[in-house]
Amino acid sequence: MEFEVLGNKDTRSGFGEGLAELGQQNPDVVALCADLTGSLKMDAFQKAHPDRFFQTGIAEANMIGLAAGMTIGGKIPFTGTFANFSTGRVYDQIRQSVAYSKKNVKICASHAGLTLGEDGATHQVLEDIGMMRMLPNMTVIVPADFNQTKQATIAIAAHEGPVYLRFGRPVMPIFVKPDAEFVIGKADVLAEGTDVTIIACGHMVWKSIEALKELHAIGISAELINMHTIKPLDEAAILKSVAKTGCVVTAEEHMMNGGLGEAVSQVLSRKHPAPQEYVAVNDTFGESGTPMELMTKYHIDTPDVVAAVKRALARKPIII
């Protein structure tokens, strides 16, 4: 299996391009940012539509409340700040004024996870997927690369209801086709295989693609699913794949608690019990370092995916 690398870009730039395109397409789209316009790549939208861009200053709680209020006149607000300040800092505002009130707010969160890098653990949120998927009415999306983040940004404007869109800072390979269709809640099967199912999201999709090559070299046939929508989870895609392979590895740039792996394990335990191994951060905060150093140190790198596959295979029941 060959994956053509179409370029290298950060997923946040995909958000910025998607938002700029939306600005041209849809006059109801408005954007709010809490003093991180450059980091979120929201400058293009701001420049083209100054009347629809709202700078809130360093006041995230107010930003979420404003966005909720802005839906009432029929607008579709996109809020932008780091993932840490998009979730934990404003959880109660999101819970009451967005999720419970079913407001059409798109919470767009950059610099998620360890790959925020040198700023360290204060900013490296690894709990946000868990927090957001626990909220009723919330859709949770973690696109895999630049193109997919752009496609997802455009897609969520057409979806009525609260959305959490998570993306990141580092430059990573682009492998999703620029004209690919993004369907919320429908997983992408990137590679078909028979021995093990790898289910990944975000930057870990590329790490898993790299792992496929190593696995192939040692004769392991792995199926790879890009689970860009964590909620609603594509249960059918999981069950179809695991029926064939009989074991699962989940890979995410997030805590093991509360994340993609836990969501997948709920499906497996209820509908198709099977060995599952987790590539995730295990109950620890991060630290300063380069994104790739941190992925290695905290065991969410390509060799960790390969090792998890081996563990999962070893746990498969032996059929005589």
Partner 1 sequence: MENKALADIASQVRRDIVRMVSAVNSGHPGGSLGCTDFLTYLYFEQMQHNANDFQMDGKNEDLFFLSNGHISPVWYSVLARAGYFPVPELGTFRKLGSRLQGHPSTDKNLPGIRMASGSLGQGLSVGIGAAQIKKLNQDPTIVYTLHGDGELQEGQIWEAAMYAAANKIDNIIATIDANGRQIDGDVDDVLSLGDLHQKWVAFGWEVLHMDGHNFDSIRSTMQQAKALTGNGKPVVIIMKTEMGQGVDYMVGSHKWHGVAPNAEQLQVALDQLEETLGDY
54 binds partner 1 (CB under 8 A): yes
| Among 26, 39, 101, 221, contact with partner 1 (rule: CB under 8 A) | 101
Residue whose CB is less far from partner 1, 97 or 226: 97
Pure H helices in 26-158? 43-48, 60-70, 83-86, 91-93, 128-133, 146-157
74 binds partner 1 (CB under 8 A): yes
151 binds partner 1 (CB under 8 A): no
Question: Min. distance of Cβ 30 from partner 1 in angstroms?
Answer: 8
Question: Min. distance of Cβ 89 from partner 1 in angstroms?
Answer: 11
| Among 31, 67, 198, 300, contact with partner 1 (rule: CB under 8 A) | 67
160 binds partner 1 (CB under 8 A): no
| Among 9, 12, 41, 75, contact with partner 1 (rule: CB under 8 A) | 75
Question: Min. distance of Cβ 248 from partner 1 in angstroms?
Answer: 36
| Among 7, 38, 50, 57, contact with partner 1 (rule: CB under 8 A) | 57
Within 8 A by CB and 6+ apart from 126, the residues are 113, 114, 253, 254, 255, 281, 285, 286
Q: Number of residues interacting with partner 1: please give it, by CB under 8 A.
A: 31
| Among 84, 86, 87, 93, contact with partner 1 (rule: CB under 8 A) | 93
65 binds partner 1 (CB under 8 A): yes
66 binds partner 1 (CB under 8 A): yes
* Of 50, 51, 57, 45, residue with least CA distance to 20: 45
183 binds partner 1 (CB under 8 A): no
DSSP state of 316: S
48 binds partner 1 (CB under 8 A): no
Within 8 A by CB and 6+ apart from 320, the residues are none
Residue 118: both structure tokens together: 């040198």
- What is the rounded distance in angstroms from the CA atom of residue 195 to the CA atom of residue 192? 10
Burial level of 316, CB count in 10 A (0-12/13-18/19+)?
A: middle
Residue whose CB is less far from partner 1, 160 or 181: 160
- What is the rounded distance in angstroms from the CA atom of residue 112 to the CA atom of residue 133? 15
Return the range that interacts with partner 1 (CB under 8 A); candidates 69-77, 190-198, 223-231, 295-303.
Answer: 69-77
| Among 102, 244, 271, 315, contact with partner 1 (rule: CB under 8 A) | 102
Angle at CA 292, nearest 5°, toward 132 and 8?
85
Return the range that interacts with partner 1 (CB under 8 A); candidates 64-72, 142-150, 251-259, 285-293.
Answer: 64-72
Q: Is 181 a catalytic residue?
A: no
Q: To the nearest 10°, the Cα dihedral for 215, 227, 108, 167?
A: 0
Q: To the nearest 10°, the Cα dihedral for 85, 91, 93, 97?
A: 120
- What is the rounded distance in angstroms from the CA atom of residue 84 to the CA atom of residue 123? 6
Q: DSSP states of 128-153 as a string?
A: HHHHHHTSTT-EEE---SHHHHHHHH
Return the range that interacts with partner 1 (CB under 8 A); candidates 54-62, 165-173, 184-192, 226-234.
Answer: 54-62
30 binds partner 1 (CB under 8 A): yes
- What is the rounded distance in angstroms from the CA atom of residue 125 to the CA atom of residue 86? 10
Catalytic residue among 60, 223, 252, 277: 60
148 binds partner 1 (CB under 8 A): no
Do the beta carbons of residue 112 and residue 83 sit within 8 Å?
yes
Which stretches of the chain bind partner 1, using CB under 8 A?
30, 51-52, 54, 56-57, 59, 61-70, 72-75, 77, 92-93, 95-97, 100-103
Give me the active site residues, please: 60
